[in-house]
Structure 1
Amino acid sequence: MSGSPALYSPRLLGLAVTLADYPIGERMTLSESVRSRTCGSIVTVAFDPSDTSKIGISASACAVGQAAAAIFVADAEGREASSISAAMDAIASWLDDNGPLPDWADIEALAPAIPHKGRHEAILLPWKAAAVALSKGVTAG
């Protein structure tokens, strides 16, 4: 038995169930769905185009992917696409053991997934979907 923490901890499972607090509403038409090539997880992030602080999310994923989606949506309010993309890069580096703990609330709950490389892409899906969705709402000026 290894000395690494359990992947499916009570904390991670508790985070996963909070996704129900962020449904995708009818007015949330600025959206993007992305799929993990490694595990097939799908995450959809949607914003109200008139108020992008209103965020909905759905995740067809394992508990790790669902927890990542919950962690994303709980701290994403008011962030712009560039901030979300920078956070995604920092999280990817952290997951690859090349970077410090990213500045995103509760992200440390995903630390047990670091040795599980097959989960990394699913973890990053919410940030990727949100960055693409928000970039759709940018108009040339």
Structure 2
Amino acid sequence: MSDTTIDRRALMRAGVLAVAGGLAGCSGGGDGTDGDGGSGDGSEGETTSEIALQNTAFQPVRASVAPGTTVTWTNEDSFGHDVTATQFHDGAAEWSFAMSVPAGESVTHTFESAGAYEYFCTIHGEASMCGVVLVGDASLDASLPCEDGTADGGGGISY
């Protein structure tokens, strides 16, 4: 049975990515994927508006969306988390967001302007549970605290 659950999740995520990629392609911004054009160093986000809170981590850690996109964080763990705005890097966008996400629940936020929007879970800490939504042409070349255990505090963000 667990193999079926995994197969269904993989199929569902592939469908979400295909739809998100198609929508990004319709918006005229790039090719709608982070395929072979990516640097491979994790500086570009996965094109998706769905972020899972799973195994005490945000998945994906980096998400890329077009301006005007509503991002949904869904808690797939059996315990609570939160999504709290922060600025790990000098060039990160300032935003105000702090929402609790009980087990099995979701929260959303619509990103209207281009920028790198960083966040973390205050319950589990930035070293293990953080993320960034890259909106529009924003990119983040620096590491997040949960990617390497430190935030460099530098810019690392470009548009």
**Normalising by the residue count of structure 1, what TM-score does the alignment of the two structures yield?**
0.30
**Normalising by the residue count of structure 2, what TM-score does the alignment of the two structures yield?**
0.27
- Which one scores higher on RCO, CA 8 angstroms, separation ≥ 6? 1
Q: Which has the higher helix share?
A: 1
Q: Which has the higher strand share?
A: 2
